[in-house]
Amino acid sequence: MKRFSGFNLIGEAFRSHQGWPEHWPDKAPKASYDAIIVGAGGHGLGAAYYLAKKYGITNVAVIEKGWLGGGNTGRNTTIIRSNYLYDESAHLYDHAVKLWDGLSQELNYNIMYSKRGVLMLAHNVHDVQSFKRHIHANRLNGVDNEWLTAEECQAYCPPLDISPNARHPVLGGALQRRGGTARHDSVAWGYARAAAALGVDIIQNCAVTGIRRGADGAIEGVETERGFIASKRVGVSAAGSTSLVMKMAGLDFPLESYPLQALVSEPVKPIFPCVVMSNTVHAYMSQSDKGELVIGAGTDQYTSYSQRGAFHIVEHTLAAICEIFPIFTRMRMLRTWGGIVDVTPDRSPVLGKTPVKGLYVNCGWGTGGFKATPGAGDLLAYTMAHDEPHKINAPYNLDRFRNGRLIDEAAAAAVAH
Amino acid sequence: MLLIHCPYCEEARPEVEFVYGGEAHIARPLDPSTYSDAEWEEFLYIRSNPRGRHHERWRHTHGCGRFFNAVRDTVTDVFETTYKAGEPRK
Amino acid sequence: MSGFRLADGGRVDRRTKRSFTFDGKAQWGYAGDSLASALLAQGQMLFGRSFKYHRPRGILGAGVEEPNALVTVDRGPGRVTPNLRAPSVPIYDGLHATSQNRFPSLKTDLLAVNNVFSAFFPAGFYNKTFMWPRGAWEKVYEPIIRRLAGLGDSPKTRDPDHYDATYAHCETLIVGAGPAGVAAALDAAAGGGRVILIDEQEEIGGGALSDPAQWGWLAEASAKLAAAGNVTVLSRTTAIGHYHQNFVVAAERLTDHLSLAEAEGPREKLWRIRAGEVVLAMGAIERPLVFEGNDVPGVMLASAARTFALRYGVAVGRKLVVMAVHDSGWRDALALQEAGVNIAAIVDLRRDIDPALAEAARAARIGCYTGYAVTKVTGRQAVTGVKIALDGVAKEQSLECDAVLMAGGWTPTVHLWSHAKGTLRWDEAWGAYLPDKSHENLRCVGACAVAWDFGSGLAIGALPAAKPLHESKAFVDFQNDVKARDIGLAVQEGFRSIEHIKRYTTNGMATDQGKTSNLNGLQIASDVLAKPVTEIGLTTFRPPYTPQSFGAMLGHHKEALFQPLRKTGIDDWAERKGAVYENVAQWRRARYFPLIGEDMDAAVARECLGVRSAVGIFDASTLGKIEVVGPDAAEFLNRMYTNPWKSLEPGRCRYGLLLGEHGFIIDDGVSARLAPDRFHLTTTTGGAARVLGMMEDYLQTEWSDLDVWLTSTTEQWAVIALQGPKAREVIAPLMEGIDLSAEAFPHMAVREGHICGVETRLFRVSFTGELGFEVNVPAQHGRMVWEAIWAEGQKHGVVPYGTETMHVLRAEKGFIIVGQDTDGTVTPDDAGLGWAVGKKKPDFVGKRSLARPDIVATGRKQLVGLLTDDPQAVLEEGAQIVADPNQPVPMTMIGHVTSSYHSATLGRSIAMALVAGGRDRMGETLHVPMPGGVISAKVVAPMFYDAEGSRLNG
Ligand SMILES: Cc1cc2nc3c(=O)[nH]c(=O)nc-3n(C[C@H](O)[C@H](O)[C@H](O)COP(=O)(O)OP(=O)(O)OC[C@H]3O[C@@H](n4cnc5c(N)ncnc54)[C@H](O)[C@@H]3O)c2cc1C
Ligand SMILES: [Zn+2]
């Protein structure tokens, strides 16, 4: 791996950049591996990297049906934050946020993690109560999250309309300064390059079509479009397709896949300094380094694998955005797209072992797993290496759907009475 | 915006008149207390989530108010058919 | 330079001049000109600066494919729109347009130093650097990069314009009104069905507008369409996208082409069209060629030059060279020459040229260089000439010229086809993806189906050149400054699928969405990889077809119509009384009624004392209400709610607790049995619709054997709560037919009668712990009855109170509010409502879940009361509770404060909290660590006032 640095960049400029090698070699599958990861999204690539880097398992393949990073990793609005309510969630997401810090250096790849702050707006008394609950819980968990008055919110994000006669007036907000964004593609590419440098095989255009189990039920390997690949350890990190892969192993999963859309505006000069989210008005937005306003929409109501959502969702999203930021009505929408998000009954992930020996899973991140990428990768790797979950991901087991120990952040935010 | 044929109104109406009701033909047990925790989990949470034909419920909330079933292809989102609640699985 | 207007020709109105400004300088053009044509006519070649290197750029195309000439149009305060494409901006009197992304001016842009250092900024450079020192990215590098990036400036003030939206239905929708689209429309019109024909340009005609020979036919066809009763023609209307089941969304621009004085009504209108059949006649877009210097201002598409000359009467130069690999370049050259534009030479890489074309060119005295390629364009801010070489590699020779036209073949516009998930097939001869199969009733006609006579040509990536790819400055994506060598670099670095290449280089991701760059990028990648295009993939097209304003998308959904605010019939009485409101679900509710000089605390204290000492009046109309009727009504409620209903006598009320099937509380409310087969249910304000939907679900799909009818009656009843020791005295004089005495009408009873002459359902219920009534009257009489009660109440010192006071009063009694003291993870037992669960009932919704291992485990959070050691300290709602305040962070939290108030009645603070194992901790002191210090509080039962309930039963 040729090191990335300003110095090497200048050096290469003098020979027209002909000396840069491949980020990752295009590998054909070997007959067997010590571990296989299904799905080359950020999570899967991260898991492969940490398996090799931290847990000493380098004979690893990441198997991807399309091109790496082309799933939700390459389709999301890249919001990163960790100010979740429950201890389990705060620990999980904060583990990731700690890894985000310094990830560029660790991977020698600028993933452009930008801590510009995530501001969540409170529009009614119920929001205020709920946000304060988060803030207090976060404080005692060592997670930064602070309360801002409406005026402070506007000072932090000048385009915000805080007039008291707004339909949903801003009563204040919860700000996590360490929250922000990162460049999604770079995250996938950075992990892929670093993993490949440690000996991980990245095998693209190779869908997993079956999972082979031995007489004792344990995992023996995966069937793919390019033949059988043996491994006693298989970690599935296939986002919206996870339940399909699990079915190949004979497991029914508490997952449903929904379309989720996002959109960007044309690029403009800097106008929007942070990330703003409003659950009550149903809008969230940031501005990319390129200058596009990056806007997340809601999920469609029905399950689908079509990667295509309905237009009225876009209408509602932009109405919500312009309700909070009325100066943007003349901005123009440049591109819309959809991803398929895998949603569990409590909208928290499943990360750990499965009833099948040697089969591990990382799924259910739904609309919010980008922020967890380094953490999820690390914890999946840990679990596969030790055949035992780490204490951070131990609560994210499948048993909770049986015993009722759900981790329901959305329910905790509750509904206005 | 999907166009959905309500088998009660016998008309195709825009999606915004309807509310999606999740997977169809998952009957609530007559006596849940006889269910084991595992069976109850399955009833509550396990869904088939197929790629392809999906049996699902819709309610014509802003129309006749009735629940009905549909078969939709989750890859193309094309409806194969819709039928009244209580009719056998299609 | 000046005088590029041809002596005659074009569709502009030469009798009507329009004046406008560009970069502050006065300019003029004719009615019918675009900003691009009017400026070109004045000799302006330089229109913009590129995104990354700030290279000078001119016009590339004459339509929506234009990547370079982006301008900001200023129509006055709040009416500033960035990033508009000059060829698509019609001029009008008073238009103010400015160029973008340059400092200080278009001609001398200091940021053009980026171009000098462009070697350091190849594709993906930012992944490779800006990592040191750690933390400098967001503090140093990112802010600089952000300032350099971005095109125009965002609008900065509120937009005074408004936007319209509508639905439309038709048998046939035709997108694109070129010859093929118009023909399809005439055809469809003859069939008698409703037809909608839409086109993004100022007038219909498409390519025919650039071909005077077709104007006669076009005029006739337009007249026919106008006369047909069943055809709607929408010009200036862009089909944004195709969605499920032939749902096409289009945006019509209504006023942007008019001067401010003429502009009236909405600015844009969104059309949501459902069509039986959709016919796509969106044409094709010419492809630029990729060679050194192809971005110098004055290098443009041949079809654009033709449009400027024949549609607008403007020559794009005095001496033009055409670089073609396609017959259409020859045809355009001939048409231009005939229109009086001087074509010096046609250079074509091909040696075999259609003899007819070659002959015609010779006859027109156009120099022909077959087998040649342009290897370089000279000039910086304008073209001064080209170098050409045989096969691109032999010895170079120079040709003088001031404009270069590129004819690289045609790319069918299949965007909407592909939005609709129609499949595409690669066509080698066309070097393009063509429409294949669709599951929608959708077809392509005309150029976008290549059913058009374009002639033939080569499909080629970069033109051959002696200079190696990695050294050349040949552009593929003009706006994003992606060069052919960037694509080469991406491939070299291991990016092999087109989606990767696109993301790594940003090719095709500019505001033109790759209309001129996608296929060239694909071809170049295929050449570099020596793999067929089909193995590299296909970038997907995503709506919108061209950028569209947010305003058009939100239409009427703004301000008051964003989400209509629900108000009760009594709301304006409260407004007149100076109420302060809060939003609850979609309603606004009076929160408190401050007297002059009072803050919330003072007002709430006064209101609370007023209720406890005399009587208060409260508007409870927002409560959800459901009428449950039928022989099986009691059985149905018995199955829905946790508590038993069958034993409830008519005339009595009961508190009902509703769980989800997961066993957690989702709603509650007091309901009354009016008759054996009739119940009046109430739900929380926010829960009404959800509860009704859930009940319908069970009724229709699980228990369809039950004979029950559910009707939402939330809006039918106004609800006036009278609470306090004087409540009975206030309503007694107004009431007819109801014996209000404690014996005849006990707590938790309901009676029907009349008040002020209108029917009422009178509930004797209390959410305050005082003697209380809820007067339900038909909503239209609510205001009148309220005023009558208010007038009567004057004798007894009645106070109006709001939701905040209601919250305090109920907390004093330990009554929960679902959503505040519960949060979707709370069971009845957790909330201390185990008494409301019918132990003997075999089943109810959620019962089975209550037996799950974690739900029956010990240590669950339970609702308790808290009394702070300092009686004046009011805990913050949401504050976290710990057993040991001295532990290090992260602390073990055992619960949180759900409700907390200063109680004027008790002269101290009170709180409710969910605490792990709370009911076993009675008397224990717990701690609430706040930023300003730890607050300690004692765990008590959640009941602070009149525990025996003597007041309520009075
Ligand atoms: C529009 C949108 C906006 C979002 N915004 C945010 C946000 O702001 N913040 C946030 O934190 N999260 C956000 N998310 C969620 C986030 O994108 C995901 O949770 C996260 O990226 C999941 O990463 P992953 O690596 O698990 O999944 P993916 O990147 O989807 O990777 C899964 C991979 O598995 C592959 N695969 C599937 N089946 C097979 C098979 N049979 N064989 C081989 N490979 C297979 C897929 O091709 C895919 O590449 C958003 C999601 C969407 C769609
Ligand atoms: Zn219906």
Does the beta carbon of A377 sit less than 6 angstroms from any atom of ligand 1? no
Span from the CA of A184 to the centroid of ligand 1 (angstroms): 11
**Residues 6+ positions from C596 with CB-CB distance below 8 Å:** none
CATH of the domain at B50: 3.30.2270.10
- The answer to whether residues C322 and C302 touch, using CB atoms and an 8 Å cutoff, is yes
CA distance A319 to A326: 9
Containing C904, the helix (H) or strand (E) segment is none
Task: List the structure tokens of C370.
Answer: 């077959």
Give the amino acid at A108: N
The dihedral region occupied by C776, where left means phi > 0, alpha psi between -120 and 50, and beta the remainder, is: beta
CATH number of the domain encompassing residue C791:
3.30.1360.120
Share of chain C above pLDDT 70, in %: 100
Residue B54 lies in a domain: yes
- Pairing state of beta strands A359-363 and B19-23? unpaired
User: CB neighbours of C206 closer than 8 A, spacing ≥ 6?
Assistant: C176, C177, C178, C179, C181, C182, C199, C281, C283
Same domain, C778 and C638: yes
Report the candidate in A323, A126, A131, A278 with the shortest Cα–Cα distance to residue C584.
A126
**E strand or H helix at C64:** none
Residue C268: alpha-carbon gap to chain centroid: 16
Residue at a domain's end among C737, C770, C796: C796
Q: Tell me the count of B-C CB pairs closer than 8 A.
A: 54
pLDDT digits (tens, 9 = 90+) for A26-44: 889 999 999 999 999 999 9
At A416 the pLDDT is 37
pLDDT of residue A151: 98
Geometric angle at alpha carbon C366, from C364 and C370, rounded to 5°: 130
* Distance between CA atoms of residues A158 and A148, nearest Å: 14
The CA distances from residue A187 to A60, A90, A104, A118, C229, in Å, are 19, 22, 9, 20, 57
Enumerate residues 6+ apart whose C-beta is below 8 A from C452.
C180, C284, C446
Structure tokens given for A267: 């690029």
Residue that terminates a domain, selected from C762, C796, C830: C796
Q: Residue B20 belongs to what domain range?
A: 3-26+43-84
Hey, are the CB atoms on A322 and C161 less than 8 Å from each other? Answer: no
Give the end-to-end CA distance of chain B in Å, rounded to a whole number.
24
CATH code of C489's domain: 1.10.10.1100
The low-confidence residues of chain C, meaning pLDDT below 70, are 1-2
Contact B67 C697 (CB under 8 A): yes
> Across the strands, what pairs with C775?
C720, C762
Minimal Cα–Cα distance from B68 to chain C, Å? 9
Alpha-helical runs (H) found in C794-863: 803-812, 853-856
User: Which ligand lies nearest the alpha carbon of B4?
Assistant: 2
- Kindly give, in sequence order, each residue whose CB lies less than 8 Å from that of residue A310, ignoring residues fewer than 6 positions away: A300, B1, B2, B15, C243, C244
Residue C362 forms part of a structural domain: yes
Asked if ipTM goes beyond 0.90, one says: yes
* CATH value at residue C385: 3.50.50.60
Q: Would residue B35 count as lying in a domain? A: no
User: For C143, how many CA atoms within 13 A lie in the half-sphere containing its CB?
Assistant: 9
CB contact under 8 Å between B32 and C421, yes or no, is: no
Task: Name, in order, each residue with C-beta under 8 angstroms of C353's C-beta and a sequence gap of 6 or more.
Answer: C327, C330, C368, C370
* Residue C570 contacts residue C718 (beta carbons within 8 Å): yes
Residue C439: CB atoms within 10 A of its CB come to 14
Q: φ and ψ at C145, to 5 degrees?
A: -60, -40
Residue B37 in any domain: the answer is no
- Partner residue facing C854 (CB), from A267, A403, A417: A403
Q: How many domains in chain C?
A: 5
- Phi/psi for C531 (5° steps) reads -130, 150
Task: Give the CA distances from residue B59 to residues A257, A309, A343, C625, C737, in Å, rounded to whole numbers and listed in that order.
Answer: 20, 20, 22, 21, 43
Q: Does residue C486 sit in the same domain as residue C502?
A: yes
> In whole angstroms, what is the distance from residue A157 CA to residue A151 CA?
10
Counting ligands in written order, the one closest to the CA of A70 is: 1
Q: How far apart are the first and last CA of chain A?
A: 57
Q: Is C139 on the interface with A (CB under 8 A)?
A: no
Q: Return d(Cα A313, Cα A259) in angstroms, integer.
A: 11
Angle at A44 between CA A43 and CA A46, to 5 degrees: 65
| Single-letter amino acid code for the residue at A113 | Y
Q: Exposure string (b/e) for B54-72, b if CB count within 10 Å is 16 or more?
A: bbbbbbbbeeeebbbbbbb
**Whether C169 and C228 share a structural domain:** yes
Residue C447 shares a structural domain with residue C318: no
Q: pLDDT digit string (tens) for A250-298?
A: 999 999 999 999 999 999 999 999 999 999 999 999 999 999 999 999 9
Query: Which residue do the tokens 């506007």 mark?
Result: A154
Q: How much is the pLDDT for A410?
A: 83
pLDDT in tens, C773-825: 999 999 999 999 999 999 999 999 999 999 999 999 999 999 999 999 999 99
Contact between residue C52 and residue C481 where contact means Cβ atoms under 8 Å apart: yes
What is the reported pLDDT for A417? 41
Query: Helix count (H) and strand count (E) of chain A?
Result: 12, 19
pLDDT at A415: 44
Q: Which residues contact C152 (CB under 8 A, 6 or more apart)?
A: A268, A269, C70, C71, C72, C82, C83, C100, C101
Q: Which amino acid is at B48?
A: S
- The residue to which tokens 């090719």 are assigned: C507
Token pair 């364009």 is found at C377
- Is the pLDDT assigned to residue A159 strictly greater than 90? yes
Cβ-contact A56, A224 below 8 angstroms? no
Q: Can you tell me the distance from the alpha carbon of C642 to that of C695, in angstroms, rounded to the nearest whole number? A: 14
C885 vs C881: CA distance, rounded Å: 9
Q: Is A65 in the pocket of ligand 1 (CB under 6 A)?
A: yes
Residue A15 buriedness (CB in 10 A; 0-12 / 13-18 / 19+): exposed
Dihedral of the alpha carbons of C909, C803, A150, A372, in degrees to the nearest 10: 80
Which token pair is C619?
Answer: 């508007």
Q: Is A75 in the pocket of ligand 1 (CB under 6 A)?
A: yes
> Are C660 and C785 in a shared domain?
yes
How close C944 comes to chain A (CA, Å)? Answer: 22
Q: How far apart are CA A306 and CA A338, in angstroms?
A: 9
Structural domain including C211 reads 161-284+410-454+545-557
CB of C711 closer than 8 Å to CB of C629: yes
d(CA A145, CA A177) in angstroms, rounded, equals 7
A192 and A198 Cβ atoms separated by less than 8 Å: no
C721 near C773, Cβ under 8 Å? yes
The best mutation among A367, A373, A378 to test binding of ligand 1, ranked by most ligand atoms within 8 Å of the C-beta, falls on A367
Domain count along chain B:
1
Residues in chain B: 90
Which among C775, C753, C778, C777 is positioned nearest to C764, based on CA atoms?
Answer: C775
Task: Say if B34 falls within a structural domain.
Answer: no
Per-residue pLDDT tens digits for C138-187: 888 999 889 888 999 999 999 999 999 999 999 999 999 999 999 999 99
Can you give the pLDDT at residue C430?
Answer: 85
> Domain check: are C266 and C386 in the same one?
no
Q: Are C132 and A4 in contact (CB under 8 A)?
A: no
- Phi/psi-derived region of residue C494, left when phi > 0, alpha when psi is between -120 and 50, beta in every other case: left
Asked if residue C362 and residue C315 are part of one domain, the reply reads yes
State residue C560's pLDDT score.
85
CB of C565 closer than 8 Å to CB of A169: no
Note whether C878 contacts A134, CB cutoff 8 Å. yes
B77 and A256: CB-CB below 8 Å?
no
Ligand 1 close to Cβ of residue A71 (< 6 A): yes
Cα–Cα distance measured from residue A314 to residue C553, given in angstroms and rounded to the nearest whole number: 8
* Dihedral angle sign, alpha carbons of residues C495, C497, C499, C505: positive
In this structure, the answer to whether residues C237 and C254 fall within a common structural domain is yes
Contacts of C706 in chain B (CB under 8 A): none
| Structure token pair of residue C643 | 């508590």
Q: What is the pLDDT of residue C2?
A: 46
Q: Are residues C337 and C444 in the same domain?
A: no
Q: Which of C369, C385, C407 is the last residue of a domain?
A: C407
Domain membership flag for residue C421:
yes
The ligand minimizing its distance to the Cα of A67 is 1
Same structural domain, C186 and C122: no
DSSP label at residue C795: G
Q: Residues A319, C553: contact at Cβ < 8 Å?
A: yes
Indicate the residue of C696, C701, C848 with minimum beta-carbon distance to B40.
C848
Exposed / middle / buried, residue C227 (Cβ in 10 Å: 0-12, 13-18, 19+): exposed
